[in-house]
Amino acid sequence: MSDEGGQKQEYVEQGEFERDTNYVADRITKHARRPGHGPVDGELWPVEPGRYRLVAAKACPWANRAIIVRDLLGLQDVISLGTPGPTHDARSWTFDLDEGGRDPVLGIERLREAYLKRFPGYERGITVPAVVEESSGELVTNDYPWITHDFFFEWREHHRDGAPDLWPEHLREEMDEVMQRVFTEVNNGVYRCGFAGSQDAYEAAYARLWSTLEWLEERLADRRYLMGEAITEADVRLFTTLARFDAVYHGHFKCNRVKLTEMPHLWGYARDLFQTPGFGDNTDFEQIKQHYYLVHTDINPSGIVPAGPDPAVWLTAHGRG
């Protein structure tokens, strides 16, 4: 089984979903210096406008966050974007949306080609987002948490004027805690529900997910964004799961206590972000639905893609200004 990032997944004996989090640990850093934190393995590549291509499918929440951060920071002219189609097979993501089924810059039909060019015989999952060097066509990294982190910290000289401070220094310690809980209990929590291999594992995952969604609903009752009055990386990470919740996770992954639209603070918050440039314009509900309902044949063997919900509700007034 694989999730929408293309990752091979594992299950513990009790039927609990466990995400494979082993990635190519290379990073792109200013002057290719080794920071004092982060992965100790892997190579460091230099920040260089025009050298790299972000390959990220809008269907995938992990990739979608990289697309959103790239746009928020104004990196469109220095890091190009390739967008695979919404579905993939066991081998790789494919460039179904491009003319001739090939990425127009890399000239490849499958993202797997960039992985194999760097690592012949590569046996792990072919995941998005991935950063590829345009000149060589080789994979640089697929370590998605560090991709967006480094877009902010390492590419700062190339940010647009007025770009948001996605990692405010005085909030970073609390923000790390919030993002960790969002990742384990929400971003990954919906997958623990959807891919649970036993009733007990599912019910435990369901309880953890909803405990944290209740916490988030309460947290957002008296603040506009997760960390206060300004958008941060934490909001990007939560948004991509919320955007998929009613369309996919509520039914497809059995996260069906209530819908997002029935949680007033989370729903207003999600619409507020959706209507912010960089978020909604990079959210494609049709691609999202096509991915989950067509790729997860073990969960949805009929391959029928639901017609709803109506995306127009995302443009209604959110009342959080």
Domain ranges of the chain: 10-158, 169-315
Q: Which CATH class is domain 10-158?
A: alpha beta
Residues 6+ apart with CB under 8 A from 81: 53, 54, 55, 56, 67, 70
Phi, psi of 56 (to 5 degrees): -150, 120
| Residue reference for tokens 């997958």 | 191
Q: Is 193 a catalytic residue?
A: no
Residue 269, both tokens = 């918050």
For 59-71, what is each residue's pLDDT tens digit? 999 999 999 999 9
Assess whether pLDDT exceeds 70 at residue 7: no
Assigned architecture for domain 169-315: Up-down Bundle (1.20)
State mean pLDDT over 181-208.
Answer: 97
Q: What is the pLDDT of residues 167-178, one digit of tens each?
A: 999 999 999 999
Write down the catalytic residue from 23, 60, 115, 206: 60
Determine contact, residues 11/17, Cβ cutoff 8 Å. Answer: yes
pLDDT at 32 over 90: no
* 93 annotated binding-site participant: yes
Q: Among the options 52, 115, 144, 191, which is catalytic?
A: 191
Q: Is 255 a catalytic residue?
A: no
pLDDT in tens, 121-133: 998 999 999 999 9
The tokens for 238 are 């939560």
